[in-house]
Amino acid sequence: MSALSGARVVLGVSGGIAAYKAVEVCRRLVDAGAHVVPVLTEGALRFVGRTTFDALGSERAWTSLWDEDRPIPHTHLGQRADLVVVAPATARVLGLYRAGISEDLLQNVLIATRAPVIVCPAMHTEMWEHPAVQENLAVLRERGVHVVEPGVGRLAGGDVGAGRLAEPADIVAAAEAVLARATAVQDLAGLRVLVTAGGTREPIDPVRFIGNRSSGKQGHAVAAEAASRGADVTLVTTTAPQGLPSGVEVVRVDTAAEMEAAVLARADGADVVVMAAAVADFRPVAVADRKLKKADGAPEIVLEPTTDILAALGKRRRAGQTIVGFAAETDDLRANAADKLARKGIDLIVANDVSAPGVGFEHDTNAVVILDAAGGATEIPLSDKRAIARSILDAVIQTRSNP
């Protein structure tokens, strides 16, 4: 069951063009089982209509401190909330919140609540990069506010750059992660967990590379779930994660060699290593220093094997360490996974058939079988990747309790 199920979520919508995306955030939160209370600023009403949120929310939208038929709305909205999400959060909202200025209903709710707060900034690149905005966010983070970073993409007026509101699915995932962390049994407390995610890119020239279709979503879900259960988490990833709880250390890499260096430098200090990344098996021996031209003819690309990071971890593992590998297969799923589990000398392997609909690469869902070194198998049917992450970490806990 989603951590959002039954949760009372105040969805604050402020006055930016990205307010239209808040409609989808509202719908997704309701679909996840949350009781959603929309709070729209006067500026938001210039971009989206109250009627839309009246229809999609769990109760009518709130728009003012003064024209509602119930007294002191900010007090009861803030006190009854399990979570407050502000999407989009404009530069103005962030500045007022940081300063503790309560000039409208949304700001009053933010100051009155003791529930966890998530802000999802959205603004033009120049505003996003302004030192005052970054300072406001730094202060809010220090106070425990969760920030879902904006993405890079098309902005209002046709500009392209940083500041684009995170996608609704990522915002809802962040909401679920924050609530899960607040309510979860802390069965990983005191453990250091190292997670890898994404597909590596092996350059051919400054433009082209050899890669794969891994989005990093499953690894990111494992990192978020581990953090929600109390672990000290380091995520080594090739893709930009969204919706991670605060406190997760993120290490960005690109190539297999970079991932190898980052993982091996940190593995000895980890109690649990989850190798969810799709690491390239081969890389070009030589990388062109300029873009290869079609007119020059098809290049001859000679490949060499990359380091088998998972096997290296299995050989150098220390006492008490749990190592989890992944196997993306298209046939003979269990046989191939069992063989890999034995060859690598690890504790668990998570196998999936990436040729099946909705499974694996680039999807929000997955279906896996988890094999352990003792010969056990746990099959997890098609589920969202956060649910798969929970099952993986349940298997880790089980393995560690039965050494």
DSSP 3-state assignment of 97? helix
User: Cis ω on the peptide bond leading into residue 284 (within 30° of 0)?
Assistant: no
Is 212 considered catalytic here? yes
Residue 348's φ and ψ, nearest 5 degrees, are: -140, 150
| Contact present, 375 and 342 (Cβ < 8 Å) | no
Q: How far apart are CA 382 and CA 363, in angstroms?
A: 11
| Contact present, 292 and 268 (Cβ < 8 Å) | no
Handedness of CA 381, 385, 391, 395 (dihedral sign): positive
Q: How far apart are CA 16 and CA 5, in angstroms?
A: 29
Q: What residues have CB less than 8 Å from 129, skipping those under 6 apart?
A: 162
Using alpha carbons, list the distances in angstroms from residue 88 to 18, 34, 119, 164, 251: 6, 19, 8, 10, 27
The catalytic residue among 136, 212, 366, 402 is 212
DSSP 3-state assignment of 356? coil
Residue 155's φ and ψ, nearest 5 degrees, are: -115, 175
The torsion defined by the Cα of 212, 217, 220 and 226, in degrees rounded to 10, comes to: -120
Q: How far apart are CA 313 and CA 164, in angstroms?
A: 39
Q: Which residues are catalytic?
A: 212
